[in-house]
A and B are shown apart, each in its own frame.
Chain A
Amino acid sequence: MKIAVQHLADGWTHSVMRLMRERWRGAAGVVDRPTDAALWECGDEAAFAELYDRYAEAVWNHAYRLTASWSTAEDLTSTTFLTAWRRRHEIRLVHDSALPWLFTVAANLARSEFRRSSRFQRLLHRVPPETTERDHADQVASSVDGERRLREVLDAVELLPRAEREAVELVLLGELPIASAAEVLGVAEVSVRARISRARARLRNLIEGQS
C-alpha cells in the first residue's frame, strides 16, 4: 500500500483528515465547547482531561509515525501529555489549537527519550508499562511490513538537518497545515515550505540509497 501524503492530496487521507481536523483543531469552530486556550487557562485536572480527550487519538497516531511502534506510541503519548501538563506554562497555541505544540512535545520526547541508543535507555524502555494491543493475525503481515517501511522513513528523517526534520515531523508526518507548523516553529511559512522542499529531495536520496 502506498499512500501519497502531499498536502493531503490523496483522497482517502483527505477525507479522513478533514473529519479528524474538525476535532483536532480544537474549539475554534465549535461554539458549545470551551476553546483550547480557555481550557489551558483553567489549568486544572478537569480541563486537562478535556484536552486529553480532544487530542489523545491525534497524538497517538502521530506518536506511531514518530516511532513505528504502537507499544512505544502508547508510552510516548502518555508521556507527551504528562510533559505537556508539567510544561503547560510554555505552551504555544496555534490558531487556538494545542495540537501543533503537542506534536512538537511528542517529537522532542521521541528524540530525547525514545530513540536515543544508550544501552540503559534501550533496556528501560523495553519494559512495557502494561500489555500492548495485539494485531489480529490477518493484519500481522501487512502491519510488520508497514512498520518496516515507516522505520526506513524515520531513519532517513533522523539524518535530516534539525530545521528540516522539525518541519517534516509536523507537516509530512503530522499532516499539519504549513501555517500551523510555521507558527509553532516560529518561522515564516515560506521558510517551512523551503525546508520541506529541501527535505523531500534529501529524503528521496536517502531512502533510495537505503534500498
Chain B
Amino acid sequence: MNIELPPRRQLPPEIKERMRPTITRARPRGRAWMGAAAAAALVITGGVFLTQSTQQHEPAPFAAVSADLARCREALRDDRWSVVNTLELRARKVLVGIDGRLCELTRTRVTAFDAAGATAVRTPSGLVVGRPPVQARSMTAHQHDPAAPRADWSPPTVITLDLFLVDADPTKPENSTLTMEFDGHQVQLTFGDIPVRGTPQDSYSNDASTAHSANLLDRCLDNAIPKRAAPGFENDWQAGAMTGVPGVLLARNGKGDWGVCEVDDAGSGALTGTIARNPAASGVEVLHRGWVAGTGTFTIAGLAPAGTKVELDLGGGTVLAPPLPITLGSFALQHRFAPAANPPAGAMIKLVNSANEVIYIAPVA
C-alpha cells in the first residue's frame, strides 16, 4: 500500500516568524502579558497573572494567591493540584491547573470545572472560558437577545495566549447570541450551545460564619456580578451598618458610593443601589426602608452623623429608644414590634442628633 503524500515544502521565513510562539521572541511593546516562561517558572508558588485585558478594571480585590490555591485545592479535593496561570476578570479569578482543570473563584464561591471536549465552556456565573485562535491578540464580545435588543451589551473580556474569558450575562436566554471578535474576525455562538460546567461551592475567605458582616458583604458583591453594575463596583467595598439576618447591610466603596443589600434568611442577597449619595445638610439619607406586614418587623437604614439616636414614638407617650450604632457614617435599624402586628397608627420614627434636634421624622407605617 503506497500512500500518496504531498512533497514537503521549504518553510518561508515569513511563515516561520508568523508561527513562532510568542515565548520565543521579544514581546510587543505596550502589551500587558508576561511570558509563559515566567508563568511556568512560578508554578511552585501557585501561579502568576498572565492577562491582557481589553478593558480597564480595578486592581485585584483578592487576597494572596496561596489562599486562592488552597480554596481550589479544597474544591478539587486534590492537595497537590498546581497552577500554571491565573486570569482575573471583574472580581473573579480563574486558576488554570497544570492538569488542565480550571477553578473559578469569587469572594464566596469556588467552582472547579474542566473544558474537556470543548473549546469553550461557561460556568453557572456566566463566565465563558475558552481557547482563542492561535496567537490572537485582542478580543471583544457582544451579547444579543433577539427578544430584548435594547438589553444588548458588551461584556468585559480578557485574552491570553492560552485562554480567553468573557464575563457573559448568565441570565440571557439560551437562544441569545454571544459574538466574539478575535483580531477583527467574528465568531458568533448561540449561548445555549456553550456547555455549562461546574457546580459552585460555598467558600468564604473570612470568618466561617455566614452572618459575619464581611462574608455577607462578599456574598452580596458576588450576587451583584451578573447584575452588571457599573465597572469597578466590585472593588474596594467596606461593610457599613447592618441589621441581623435576615435584614439589611449597607456598604461603601472607595469613591463614596453606597450600596444596599437585602439579606435573606440564608445570608444571601445582592448589592444594589450603588449610587453616589449627597446627604442633606442634616447628614441624614435614608437608603432603605421596609415594613414586613404581619411580621411586625420594621427596617430602616441609611446615612447619619455620629452621635445620632433613634426614637420610635408609638403615640400615647410611649417612646422606644433602641440602640443605633453608627458604622462608617451609616445606620441600620430593625425593630420587631410585639406582638407581631402592624404598628400603632400614627407611630413615627425620629432620628435625633447630638444636640437633641430632630433631623429626620417619618411615619413607620
Contacts and interface: CB of A to CB of B under 8 A. Distances in A.
A78 B182 CA distance: 17
Contacts of B6: 3, 64-65, 146-147, 150
B21 A81 contact: yes
B78 interface: no
Given A44-B37, A118-B119, A120-B193, A79 B8 contact: no
Contacts of B16: 56-57, 60
B11 interface: yes
Contacts of B12: 133
A115 interface: no
Nearest to A72: B134
B118 interface: yes
A45 B193 CA distance: 38
Interface in A124-175: 124-130, 133, 146-147, 149-150, 153, 172-173
Contact of A2 (B2, B182, B189, B193): B2
Contacts of A173: 3, 5
A124 B119 contact: yes
B119 A128 contact: no
Contacts of A3: 4-7
B4 A16 contact: no
Nearest to B40: A86
Interface centre among B23, B24, B136, B187 (most CB of A within 10 A): B24
B23 A82 contact: yes
B24 A52 contact: yes
Given A120-B189, A127-B182, A74 B133 contact: no
Nearest to B24: A49
Interface stretch (A25-33, A92-100, A179-187, A200-208): A200-208
B9 to A, nearest CB: 6
A189 interface: no
Contacts of B161: 82
B289 interface: no
Interface string A1-15: 111111000001100
Contacts of B162: 82, 86
B15 A133 contact: yes
A124 B37 CA distance: 26
A134 B322 CA distance: 81
Given A78-B134, A85-B40, A113-B119, A48 B23 contact: yes
- Per CB-CB distance, the 4 closest pairs between chain A and chain B, nearest first, are A200-B1, A49-B24, A57-B11, A127-B185
15 contacts: A2-B2, A12-B7, A16-B7, A48-B23, A78-B21, A81-B19, A82-B23, A82-B134, A85-B40, A120-B119, A120-B189, A123-B188, A124-B130, A127-B133, A127-B187
Interface of B: 1-12, 15-16, 18-21, 23-25, 35-37, 40, 84, 117-120, 130-131, 133-136, 161-162, 182-183, 185, 187-189, 193-194
